[in-house]
Structure 1
């Protein structure tokens, strides 16, 4: 006796008709009738009153129905519990660079957790460069970063491009340019570059942007991270180039001014191992683009369709 036989029998009892039960089960009526006959032969007893309209069970059939429904319910519960137990070992480890915490990444991770509660999601702050090795060693499954670092074992997907801004103290003369400012206008200012993590990093990205414009900032200091840089800006020690999303950091006495140069952008990449992505990673992509759609963030939809 198989579970499908129990499902067939229960459907016939509840529909009180072989025809309606066959429609409910999406099978033809003759095979259904044969399955019920085989079941009766196996049990050695008649389960339905022949010729009754609507179809009625015998006493043995009624007894069998009561226990069949319990067995089917138990089978579904066992299936569900087994899936939950099996899923507890499913872990997705996400690496990220700290500046992304000011943007949409926290919302994406929260949404991912809410949509897939069976997954254990772990997040680790790790530089873009170190993410590559961490991916190859299996320490993380995906990495969110800002640098174009190529490796044959790693696949990199451009998620979007974020504009850059200048962080200045409110009393700084540059704070009057709220509509925007160009790199050439700030090259002579004292500036803080960050972070001091292994190169290449965001500091290199900013320096490269200056070089592409034929500029070289005269007074620079490298600091540990964006928080230190913004603190020094608030102290009136200089200015700092930051991603546009950093403007959400409401630090006293600090203003954010858009950089107007067309190429003043910072790309946001997702890196993953070069193998076919797992269903869990595909689900993460789905969450990313749902948040982007909700926020009206532009991204390459053709690239998304190609990936999926």
Structure 2
């Protein structure tokens, strides 16, 4: 059981509604319900009267609520006092690759800001390769990228592997394959890759994916960024491989279909300096896994 579970429970009790509590917590209602169910399973008791409107606690639930409020209050007091001890403003600078803005990174950063209000948080878009050098030079404190770049001075943690999809025009024959396609189905298509520089980057990753299956696409064209690639697809100029989170980019006549090959994933890494074990980094990890829990995303939690 963690403090966040207590926060979720207290919000539901005070709002007497899962929907209103979810709005208060800035999360979706189904994940919140799952977290409360998990809490009841861990305690082995029922905390709420089922079917009551408004939502009411059981006797055990009311007892748990009273003590949860005290624990949360004590935790906030300790946090505030500790922050006053070291009142000098601290900055956490994060490097990130642009495509992650279409996924969960904004939610993670927002939650981190809410939970660490004493920190100044800065975001800088840069390639994974640039992040490694910036970490070593102290220009950023953490990097979010997609490439496996090894360096003895940097610790790289795999957060999760994001499925890849194929973006096609609605009139393209592949658009009918709603269940998905394989790389062999698209190897002869006109394929837009991005970004065009610097290397290595996501386009390098896509080329390597074809090579892994002994495929050699001939009709490739690199463009500057993902928005340009998808705009050209929406114009019927070709197709494009993108991370699943890019589905949030909605253009007329643009369809996304799954890429079914087992290796068709894009890893998401967090990179920090090898010896960095600061409390701020630990708090960032907690925010990442809180978001993953609420989004019901599978992951192997790293220990730092």
Which residue in 1 is equivalent to 2:180?
180
**Residues in 2 aligned to 1:80 and 1:270: alpha-carbon distance in whole angstroms:** 28
Q: 1:33-182, aligned counterparts within 5 Å?
A: 83-84=83-84, 86-182=86-182
RMSD value over aligned CA atoms? 1.8
Shift of 1:160: 0.3
Give the superposition deviation at 1:88. Answer: 4.7
Please list the CA deviations of residues 141-181 of structure 1 after superposition, one character each: whole Å capped at 9, or x if unmatched.
00000000000100000000000000001111110001100
1:150 counterpart SS class = coil
Aligned to 2:208: 208
Residue pair 1:92, 1:140 contacting (<8 A) in 2 also: yes
C-alpha contact 2:89 2:118 (8 A) present in aligned 1: no
In structure 2, the CA distance between the partners of 1:156 and 1:244, relative to structure 1 (3 Å rule), is same
Q: Which runs of 5+ in 2 are unaligned?
A: 1-76
CA distance in 1, matches of 2:153, 2:114: 31
SS at match of 1:216: coil
Partner in structure 1 of residue 269 of structure 2: 269
**Residue ranges of structure 1 left out of the alignment (5+ in a row):** 1-76
Q: Is the 8 A contact 1:87 1:119 kept in 2?
A: no
- Paired with 1:88 and 1:254, the residues of 2 have a C-alpha distance of 49
Larger gyration radius, structure 1 or structure 2? 1
- Give the deviation of 1:82 after TM superposition: 9.3
Shift of 1:276: 3.3
Aligned partners of 1:88 and 1:120 also within 8 Å: no
Alpha-carbon deviations, 1:207-240, whole Å to 9, x = none? 0000011111121100001010001001110000
Specify the SS of the correspondent of 2:140: coil
Aligned residues: 227
Superposition deviation, residue 197 in structure 1: 2.4
Q: Is the 8 A contact 1:243 1:266 kept in 2?
A: yes
Give the whole-Å Cα distance in 1 for the aligned partners of 2:223 and 2:114: 36
Q: Tell me how far apart the structure 2 counterparts of residues 278 and 81 of structure 1 sit (CA, whole Å).
A: 18
- Deviation per CA, 1:181-224: give whole Å up to 9, x if none: 00000000001000022111000000000001111112110000
Tell me the CA shift for residue 83 of structure 1.
3.9
CA–CA distance in 2 between the matches of 1:140 and 1:146?
17
Q: Deviations over 1:247-274 (max 9, x none)?
A: 1111111000000001100000000001
Which residue is equivalent to 1:232? 232
Q: TM-score, normalised by structure 1?
A: 0.71
Pair 187,249 (structure 1): closer, same or farther in 2 beyond 3 Å: same
Task: Give 1:86 shift.
Answer: 4.1
Cα distance in 1 between the residues matched to 2:88 and 2:185: 55
